[in-house]
């Protein structure tokens, strides 16, 4: 990757992180390496715009993230969505990041499942002027895009030289295939099954300590 600018490139990975797992962390790190990002900011959403409310509270999800990335020099938790009222719209987050980092290349990371929903997002056409989009592609994953999104993808596809631009291109990188989802982890915990090696041990300990994702008993 050739980057002629001297402003560090910043990655952003938004999500519910309910809970954070190795599927988020390893794939995020794959992109950090491939794009030589200076940092990856993990941004937990307060109230997701496109799904049911999370099981764990915002503070619990933030704490799990902090434990998960502890001591990694390039990963950090960015809690700006938790400090904002109302639904968490990515475009608002990017506007706020752009104010903080006016000259840095910003890269918004997302899985293919998330990218395929992009046209349903609030003010989605305003995202690319604020940041690059990086689609994390998992081998063998179906890549089904609407005509509108295929066109958007083709028209804005990046070439390697575009890495020093501040925003405006769509990138697609193969990442480590990890068939892990937070939904599957919550389901396992609800059944009382073992979740080791799906997420960091420190996060599992906190889940146990706070009795998260357990079946509700009559008294709870």
- Please select the residue that binds ligand ATP; options are 9, 11, 12, 17, rule is CB under 6 A: 17
Q: Smallest gap, in angstroms, from Cβ of residue 161 to ligand ATP?
A: 26
Distances (CA, A) of 65 to 14, 16, 117, 164: 12, 10, 25, 29
Exposure class string for 82-113: b at 16+ Cβ within 10 A, else e: bebeeebbbbbbbebbbeeeeebbbbbbbbbe
Restricting to residues 27-66, name those near ligand ATP by CB under 6 A.
Answer: 27
Is residue 116 near ligand ATP by the rule CB under 6 A? no
Q: Three-state SS for 172?
A: strand
> Rule CB under 6 A: is residue 178 a binding residue for ligand ATP?
yes
Report the residue from 65, 108, 110, 207 that binds ligand ATP according to the rule CB under 6 A. 110
Q: Residue from 10, 11, 12, 15 that binds ligand ATP (CB under 6 A)?
A: 15
Q: Does 19 bind ligand ATP (CB under 6 A)?
A: no
Options 23, 29, 78, 94; binder of ligand ATP; rule CB under 6 A: 23
CA-to-CA distance for 12 and 131, rounded, in angstroms? 9
Strands across the sheet containing 170-175: 75-77, 39-44, 10-15, 106-111, 132-138, 170-175
Give yes or no for residue 11 binding ligand ATP (CB under 6 A). Answer: no
Tell me which stretch binds ligand ATP (CB under 6 A): 32-40, 147-155, 175-183, 194-202.
175-183
Q: In 3-state terms, what secondary structure has residue 105?
A: coil
In the complex, the residues that contact ligand ATP under the rule CB under 6 A are 15-18, 23-24, 27, 110-111, 113-114, 136, 138, 178, 180-183
């Amino acid at each position: 990757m050739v980057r002629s600018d001297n402003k560090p490139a910043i990655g952003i990975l938004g999500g519910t992180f309910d809970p954070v797992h190795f599927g988020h962390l390893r794939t995020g790190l794959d992109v950090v390496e491939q794009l030589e990002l200076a940092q990856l900011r993990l941004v937990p959403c307060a109230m997701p715009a496109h799904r049911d409310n999370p099981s764990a509270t915002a503070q619990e999800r933030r704490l799990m993230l902090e434990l998960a990335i502890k001591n990694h020099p390039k990963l950090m938790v960015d809690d700006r969505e938790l400090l904002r009222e109302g639904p968490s719209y990515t475009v608002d987050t990017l506007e706020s990041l752009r104010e903080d980092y006016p000259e840095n290349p910003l890269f918004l990371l997302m899985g293919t499942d998330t990218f395929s929903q992009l046209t349903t997002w609030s003010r989605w056409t305003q995202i690319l002027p604020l940041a690059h989009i990086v689609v994390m592609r998992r081998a063998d994953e179906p890549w089904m895009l609407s005509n509108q999104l295929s066109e958007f993808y083709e028209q804005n596809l990046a070439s390697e030289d575009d890495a020093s631009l501040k925003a405006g291109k769509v990138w697609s990188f193969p990442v480590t295939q990890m068939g892990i989802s937070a939904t599957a982890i919550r389901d396992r915990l609800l059944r009382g099954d073992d979740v080791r090696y799906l997420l960091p041990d420190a996060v599992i300990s906190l889940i146990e300590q706070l009795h998260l994702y357990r079946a509700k008993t009559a008294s709870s």
